[in-house]
Structure formats: C-alpha cells, structure tokens
Amino acid sequence: MSLDAAWALDWARRAALLAAENRAQLTELDRAIGDADHGDNLERGMKAVVAKLDAAQRAGGVPASPGGVLKLVATTLMATVGGAGGPLLGTAFLKAARSSDASAWGTQELVRALEEATSGLEARGHATSGDKTMADAWRPAAMAAKEAAEIGEDEIGVLAAAVQAAAKGAQDTEPLQARLGRASFLGERSCGHRDPGAQSSALILQAAADAARDHSSDPFLVVEQA
C-alpha cells in the first residue's frame, strides 16, 4: 500500500476531530503551565483547515498529492493560529509538505516527512529534546518511524511506531523543567505537568495513523474473509 492525497485529507479531518474532542484537556494542560489557550488554538486552526478543505472540494480543486494537502494544512494553521503553537505546528506541516511531491507516499517518504517536520519545528523554535516542548513528541516519533521502516514495517507499522513514541514522548515531558515558551517562565514549577504541545502533537500523529489504517482496507481481503 501507499498513502495518497485521500489519506492526507482523512488525516487532516481526523486531526480536527481529535482536536475538538481533546480541546478541554489540552487547554487544562496549558492552564497549568501556560495561558490556557492551547486546546482552543488548535481546535480553531483545525476547524479552519476543514473549512478550507471543504471549499476546495466544492470547487473541485483538492490537492492531488499528500504534499499538496499538507501545504494547505500548514498555511491555514499559520494564518489562523496565533501564539507559539500555531506557527510551530504550521512549520512542521510545511516541511512535511515540501519533503516529497510524490502522488503517494511509501515508508521512505513518511520517514523523510517526519524527519523534515521535526527538524523544521526544532529550528523554528530553537528547541532540542528535553526542553519540554512539542519537539519532545516529534523527535522520538521521527526516530521510531525510521527504525520501523528499517526493519521492514509498512506504512501502518511506521506510523504506529511513530504514534507510540510520540505518546511516550509527551508523557515523558511531565517531570521536565521547561526551557522554552511560556512554561519556562515558571522555572521549577513547570515540573510535574505534561506539555500541551507535545500532547497535541501525539494526537495529530494518531490521526495520521488512524487514517492510514482506514485506507489500507483491501477489498480482496474482505472477500477472502467473507
């Protein structure tokens, strides 16, 4: 299998759903070590993304490649989400979009996209692992994806590995002292709380994996099982 524009569209729509479902939780995380707007920011941004996709579909102008879809996601997030989170996430999506112009992505393109997204947001935020930011979800995800591809996992396996690593990365931000962003103003008081951006990044990758699993349904397999 490989992942085409329909997968990327589904990824964006699922990410919007997860953002809406988890809005309150993300905002609570941001209330503890930030300014209590992360869930609202992400939900607003992803709602705007879905509106853009709907308009493109009505006009018959949906991008024909994963890169095209992700570019639309990126530019919409950058235009609609203020604060630190929006531009950083937008950068991640933009770098992923630019990592390949293929009409369908295999594991190699996926690994490259995750690596580029991660390096892009790290560079934009001057973030490194352990700073207690969204990079603490993206970096382990990119590394796990690469390892999964190297041992021959398919796209679903690569994304599953990325999701698991991102979720663990988000959890592992809890004891850390924030070195960047608003949370860093709290110093030691930022310890003991999960970083909201790392948590939302894990959800966004979860949406990518769920979409891939959905797109893998092979009609011949269904016939065999019947």
C-alpha to C-alpha distances, 67 to 72, 94, 125, nearest whole angstrom: 9, 9, 23
- 8 Å CB contact between 130 and 113: no
Residue 140 found at the interface with ligand ADP (CB under 6 A): no
- 8 Å CB contact between 46 and 16: yes
In the bound state with Mg ion, the residue whose beta carbon lies nearer, of 63 and 181, is 181
In the bound state with ligand ADP, the residue whose beta carbon lies nearer, of 164 and 200, is 200
Select the residue interacting with ligand ADP from 142, 198, 207, 212 (CB under 6 A): 198
- Locate 124 and state its tokens: 């934009």
In the bound state with ligand ADP, the residue whose beta carbon lies nearer, of 6 and 31, is 31
d(CA 190, CA 132): 9
Residue 140 found at the interface with Mg ion (CB under 5 A): no
Q: Which stretch binds ligand ADP (CB under 6 A): 60-68, 99-107, 164-172, 189-197?
A: 189-197
Of the candidates 126, 163, 124, 123, which has an alpha carbon nearest to the alpha carbon of residue 141? 163
Residue 43 found at the interface with Mg ion (CB under 5 A): no
In the bound state with ligand ADP, the residue whose beta carbon lies nearer, of 2 and 129, is 129
Q: Which stretch binds Mg ion (CB under 5 A): 21-29, 35-43, 60-68, 185-193?
A: 35-43
- Give the containing element (helix H, strand E) for 4: strand 3-4
